[in-house]
Amino acid sequence: MPANRNALIRYKTIDNCLRNPYRRWTLEDLVDACSDALYEYEGIDKGISKRTVQMDIQMMRSEKLGYNAPIVVYENKYYKYEDPEYSITQTPLNEQDLKTMSEAVEVLRQFKGFSYFTEMSDIINRLEDHVASARMKTTPVIDFEKNESLKGLDYLDTIYHAIVNEHPIQLKYRSFKARSANSFIFYPYLLKEYRNRWFVYGVRGNGRILQNLALDRIQSLEVLPQEHYIKNTFFDPNTFFDDLVGVTKNTGSVAEKVGFKVAAAEAPYIITKPIHRSQQVVERLADGSVILEIEVVINHELERVFFGYAEGIQVLYPKTLVELMGRKLKKAAEQYTHSK
């Protein structure tokens, strides 16, 4: 159980007393010092009992808080640290502490693209160095998927603040299909990450069509704080992605039921990691395969998920998706059939 604030004040006070080699400390002296500290820091004027300080000393001696303080009694009356260099503020971290701190550092580092975390970057780096030096050359136990070489990450913070402050942005943007870049004003509403790529949702110019733009296709960006901002009345970010795999969805898109048969070898993976939250088992077949169903908007990302399983998945319905998958898989097979 973690110590409460008053207990921590007492521990620190006792530690300061026992580190003072120029005075001999009786139990009564430690009680008075703790009472004074609690009054100074918390305004508590009730004082504390000898029993409380004795329990504090026992707690500091124990491993419960990781202190293992070498507190000894000499001349049957006075308290001191057996090691005069000891202090609870210099207690080394145990292995579990180091593992926890390592994982926390990795989590914090995921947000380093945002300026709100810039002030923490020095702290994070120092914490990381401290953990690394404490653990010597131990093997990392956690690794996050990341792609720091991805283009457009330097726009993350600028777009984030434009959304928060409701400022339009002037973009020079070139999609993969466009022959050249286009310049336009964009009203950003939401940043979203999908498979290590970042997208911004909003509307272009005076349009009324919700779009998502990949940050790695932005060639230049300028915030327009003086321009009028069109507020978001186009979608609810809290529910917009409920029926979606990926990021592509038009405002008027409607979810459809998609049925697919999964081969026995792939079934355990897809059942334990559903393609979508709506996934349900329709039927389990004798050969170990299963028929599953999801209710989603059909888009490019969903198709890519199915293609990723190749022969492991057979789409059963709707008919339009079955025909689309059939055509594309046939073309893919032809590339290998006709190759020399």
Q: What is the CATH number of the domain that holds 33?
A: 1.10.10
Token pair for residue 35? Answer: 């009472």
The Cα-based distances of 66 to 87, 92, 95, 97 in angstroms read: 12, 8, 11, 10
User: Based on the domain organization, do 100 and 157 belong to the same domain?
Assistant: no
Other beta carbons within 10 Å of 49: 11
Q: Does 66 lie in the same domain as 21?
A: yes
Q: If you average pLDDT over residues 193-219, what whole number do you get?
A: 88
* Contact (Cβ atoms closer than 8 angstroms) between residue 221 and residue 207: no
- Domain presence at residue 229: no
The whole-chain average pLDDT of the chain stands at 83
Residues 15 and 70 placed together within one structural domain of the fold: yes
Structure tokens at 307: 């293609």
Contact 278, 294 (CB under 8 A): yes
Does the predicted model carry a pTM greater than 0.75?
no
Tokens standing for residue 151: 């283009």
| 62 and 111 share one domain | no
66 confidence band (pLDDT: 50, 70, 90): confident
Strand order across the beta sheet in which 25-26 lies: 25-26, 78-81, 71-74
Instruction: For residue range 313-330, list pLDDT tens digits in order.
Output: 999 999 999 999 999 999
Give domain status of residue 122, yes or no.
Answer: yes
Do 50 and 75 have their domain in common? yes
pLDDT value for 175: 84
What value does the mean pLDDT take over residues 8-15?
A: 91
User: Which helix (DSSP H) or strand (DSSP E) does residue 340 occupy?
Assistant: none
119-178 pLDDT, tens digit each:
555 555 555 555 555 555 455 555 556 666 667 778 888 898 899 899 999 999 988 888
User: What pLDDT is attached to residue 2?
Assistant: 40
Instruction: Please state, as a whole number, how many other Cβ atoms lie within 10 Å of the Cβ of residue 39.
Output: 13
The answer to whether residue 235 is domain-embedded is no
Based on the domain organization, do 157 and 212 belong to the same domain? Answer: yes
DSSP code per residue over 229-281: -----S--TTTTTTT-SSS---TT---EEEEEEE-TTTHHHHHHS-SSTT-EE
Share of the chain above pLDDT 90, in %: 47
Single-letter code of the amino acid located at 28:
E
Does any domain span residue 65? yes
Residue 195: CATH number of its domain: 2.30.30
On whether both 214 and 286 belong to a single domain, the answer is no
Does residue 260 sit in the same domain as residue 333?
Answer: yes
| Same domain as 27, residue 53 | yes
| Residue 316 covered by a domain | yes
Kindly state whether residues 273 and 305 are assigned to the same domain: yes
248-272 confidence digits (pLDDT tens): 887 778 999 999 999 999 999 999 9
Domain count, the chain: 4
- Give me the domain span that covers residue 130: 95-136
Q: Which tokens go with 11?
A: 């521990």
Give the pLDDT of residue 1. Answer: 34
**CA-CA distance, 292 to 316, in Å (whole number)?**
10
Q: Which residue has the tokens 């970010």?
A: 237
Residue 164 φ then ψ, to 5°: -60, -40
The answer to whether residues 84 and 21 touch, using CB atoms and an 8 Å cutoff, is yes
Tell me, yes or no, whether 178 and 110 share the same domain. no
Residues 75 and 108 in one domain: no
Q: Is residue 231 part of a domain?
A: no
The answer to whether residue 147 is domain-embedded is no
41 belongs to a structural domain: yes
